[in-house]
Amino acid sequence: MIAKLFEKLSSENRAALVTFISCGDPSISFTKKLVKAVCESGADIVELGVPFSDPMADGAVIQASSQRALASGTTILSVIEMAGELRKDGIDKPFVLFSYFNPIFKIGVEKIAAKCKENGIDALLVVDAPMEESREITSVTEKFGVDFIPLAAPTSPLDRIEKISQSGSGFLYYVTVAGVTGARDSLPEHFARRLADVRKASSLPVAAGFGISNPQMARLAAESADAVVVGSRLVYMAHETLIKDGESAALNGVSNFVKSLYSQMLR
């Protein structure tokens, strides 16, 4: 499904909008409504973030969100089951299960891959699985037709990026900045030039993520990448508005934000 989506968007000269959702914050029931809202507002792909006790790649916003989700009893299995319920409700956008390896290892790669397939999850992204160790996962996910989304860092040499892209499928997640997740005010210097080089090196479409926080940044990223990922800003907005103004306001606020991002995806 993901490969076909990128083919379609390429013919339309449009970048994909990828939204990250911190699942279970503050509950799975709210998350289901949030996923529906972003899908209806223009998200092309949804990353379903699995809460983890030690999210070393994430900044303060997603760390706090993970803690709230864990406190509500959210697990990797409850996130996968939620995806299945969303499929039954008619949500058909590609889902990427976004997790650290520990929750997957505890249950078993084969069981997780099977449940992903059963519940309509299209891909698995494992934040802390380097290329050298990814075959332990991809040898299983391939059997179930589940994509494995590889990651490349801004410090990765281009020859390594080429190999990283060949180790996965779906798209290459390119981390645009060194450090952890979190909204930032601007894109890195020489962003466009670096993305052009990364896209040439990659055998997969390239999604740019980490730090993209507003429509202006999304527009600049869309001009250089095949997909734009927005996470921390969306997670922060959903939580803060929910606390201050309630569920309806939170869903409306996120919907309007996603619409504003979607409007910038056409090149």
Coarse DSSP helix, strand, coil percentages of the chain, rounded to the nearest 5 percent: 50, 15, 35
The active-site residue out of 25, 44, 58, 147 is 58
Contact 84, 120 (CB under 8 A): yes
The active-site residue out of 25, 44, 47, 226 is 47
Residue 58 bears catalytic tag: yes
Can you list the domains of the chain with their CATH numbers? 2-10+17-148+212-261 (3.20.20.70)
User: What is the torsional sign of CA 101, 104, 107, 108?
Assistant: negative
Angle between helices 28-40 and 247-262 (to 10 degrees): 30
Contact 228, 208 (CB under 8 A): yes
The per-residue pLDDT string of the chain (267 residues; one tens digit each, 9 = 90 and over) reads 999 999 999 999 999 999 999 999 999 999 999 999 999 999 999 999 999 998 776 778 999 999 999 999 999 999 999 999 999 999 999 999 999 999 999 999 999 999 999 999 999 999 999 999 999 999 999 999 999 999 999 999 999 999 999 999 999 999 987 655 544 566 767 888 999 999 999 999 999 998 899 999 999 999 999 999 999 999 999 999 999 999 999 999 999 999 999 999 998
The pLDDT value given to residue 56: 76
Residue 245 bears catalytic tag: no
Q: Enter the tokens of residue 55.
A: 């999210």
Alpha-carbon torsion, ordered 19, 221, 208, 170, to 10 deg:
80
Distance CA 34, CA 259 (A): 14
φ, ψ for residue 20 (rounded to 5)?
-100, 130
pTM given for the model: 0.95
